[in-house]
Structure 1
Amino acid sequence: METLTESIIAAGWAERILTEGQLARLLDGTAQRRYNLVNRALHRGELVRLRRGRYRLAASVSGKLAHPFVVAQALRSGSYVSFESALSFHGWIPEAVPMTLCVVPGRRREEFEVPQFQTFRFLPLALNPGFFLEAVERVQLDEQVALVARPLRALLDRLCLLKRDWPGLMELAWEMRIDPDLMASLRRDDLEALRPLYRHGRMRAAIEAMERELAS
């Protein structure tokens, strides 16, 4: 009898994150049989449970560890990577970030510790409806797609999360060890598109202050 691991590899899904529905389509038989096969693969260490209903073959079987940003999308659909995680990904801050930080719709804050991976933290922000994915791009990683904030959006999301007043471009660059040339590359047009994004007046004031600095 073919094992679950063999079935996943034969289907060409060795590097995919799989749902219960995909496993049901892949495997014949009853739900109990599927449950037994999944548990057997988990017990042997061939399969990793990312969260309830989300699985991936272990790196020792697939030959490759999934990118954390792809895992984040599987943990909370509709979220996107932001804050220091996105800034590090784009090369705007020199430090590696020991967890994956994401913005999630709604109000519920969550955190996951996933075996073989790191900590994943999902944080809600006070955003106006219709602008959630403004300045967020689809990035191809490990043959799958993750949503990642562009640097400007990640910077502003961080200010919003910390509920901080605008510190000034150079102060922010010094604080986060961002190359001043990268700060200088920010464009007023991009800021204008983000003006209606945040609900709080503090963020609107921050964007206006940033625009004035970029214009001077």
Structure 2
Amino acid sequence: MGELISQITSAGYADRVLNDQQIGRILGGSDDRRYGQVKRALQSRALIRIKRSLYVLAEQYREHPLHPFALAQALVTGSYVSMETALAFHGWIPEAVYTTVSVTPGRKSQVIDHPNLGRFEFNPLALHKSGFLAGVQRHVISDQAMLVASPLRALMDLVAFRKQEWEGIAWLDTGMRISKAHLLHTRLKDFSALKGVYKHKVVNEFLSRLEQEVRALKKAMRTSGKEHSHE
């Protein structure tokens, strides 16, 4: 283990995504000294460059595997994981998702395709600033913090990104393979939290129609339960 890796580990930063400034504070000394140590660590593959001025330790020097959600937020500050990635994370869609998709507070979409760490997409949406993090939850996995959209927020972000018009609840079942059982677990206050988040009328109309359908489903379930209780 080289001196740089040893000092990062001793400082308790082995599982962090590190930038040049952080490495400089850990090492101390001159910029030339830091540059030399970073260069040697990169050559030995003990340190992995994610992009310019952003690094992680190689897997064998970490306590926990690098989680792609935590990495996504390090790549684009202020972003949160959403859309298909968050829906798969919550078990709402059965398909595996191999790209980490996030919503960014910036104005430009970008794709970062790292040969060792995976593919990351960042997309802006037409959102009111006050509601940017509505329905977004903080998770900690293997001591790594990350922001992930709730299932309903992830779904509505996908609707906003695709500009998907309401086609009935069948679209969720056949088009997205989201079961009614998942929708029944959505709380009505989750819908309220997302009202006023999106700027486009088509998205707000989708949210309103979906809420109506969920209310109807819940009412039908309650009625069915009462009928069975009298049998």
TM score, norm. by length of structure 2: 0.89
Instruction: Find the aligned partners of 1:162 and 1:102 in 2 and give their Cα distance.
Output: 14
* Aligned residue number for residue 95 of structure 2: 95
* Aligned residue number for residue 46 of structure 1: 46
Instruction: Find the aligned partners of 2:2 and 2:191 in 1 and give their Cα distance.
Output: 55
* Aligned residue number for residue 67 of structure 2: 67
Instruction: Find the aligned partners of 1:5 and 1:182 in 2 and give their Cα distance.
Output: 45
Tell me, yes or no, if structure 1 residue 140 matches structure 2 residue 140: yes
Instruction: Find the aligned partners of 1:96 and 1:215 in 2 and give their Cα distance.
Output: 30
Q: What's the offset of the Cα at 1:2? A: 5.7
Instruction: Find the aligned partners of 2:5 and 2:55 in 1 and give their Cα distance.
Output: 11
SS of the aligned residue for 2:130 comes to coil
Instruction: Find the aligned partners of 1:37 and 1:132 in 2 and give their Cα distance.
Output: 40
Q: Which amino acid aligns with 1:96?
A: A
* Aligned residue number for residue 225 of structure 2: none
Instruction: Find the aligned partners of 2:34 and 2:53 in 1 and give their Cα distance.
Output: 12
More helix by share: 2
Q: Which amino acid aligns with 1:131?
A: G
8 Å CA contact 1:80–1:102 kept in 2: the answer is: yes
* Aligned residue number for residue 131 of structure 2: 131
Q: Which one has the largest radius of gyration?
A: 2
Q: What's the offset of the Cα at 1:30? A: 0.6
8 Å CA contact 1:58–1:65 kept in 2: the answer is: no
Name structure 1 gaps, 5 residues minimum.
none
* Aligned residue number for residue 152 of structure 1: 152
Q: What's the offset of the Cα at 1:174? A: 2.4
Deviation digits for residues 110-140 of structure 1, max 9, x if unmatched?
1112242110000000001211000001110
* Aligned residue number for residue 106 of structure 1: 106
8 Å CA contact 1:187–1:214 kept in 2: the answer is: no
Tell me, yes or no, if structure 1 residue 11 matches structure 2 residue 22: no
* Aligned residue number for residue 76 of structure 1: 76
Q: Which amino acid aligns with 1:9?
A: T
Q: What's the offset of the Cα at 1:180? A: 2.0
SS of the aligned residue for 1:122 comes to strand
Name structure 2 gaps, 5 residues minimum.
217-231
Moved runs in structure 1, 4+ residues, more than 3 A? Answer: none
Instruction: Find the aligned partners of 2:164 and 2:2 in 1 and give their Cα distance.
Output: 56
* Aligned residue number for residue 172 of structure 2: 172
8 Å CA contact 1:15–1:142 kept in 2: the answer is: no
* Aligned residue number for residue 86 of structure 1: 86
TM score, norm. by length of structure 1: 0.94
Instruction: Find the aligned partners of 1:8 and 1:115 in 2 and give their Cα distance.
Output: 24
8 Å CA contact 2:17–2:55 kept in 1: the answer is: yes
Q: What's the offset of the Cα at 1:62? A: 2.2
Q: What's the offset of the Cα at 1:188? A: 2.5
Instruction: Find the aligned partners of 1:176 and 1:45 in 2 and give their Cα distance.
Output: 41
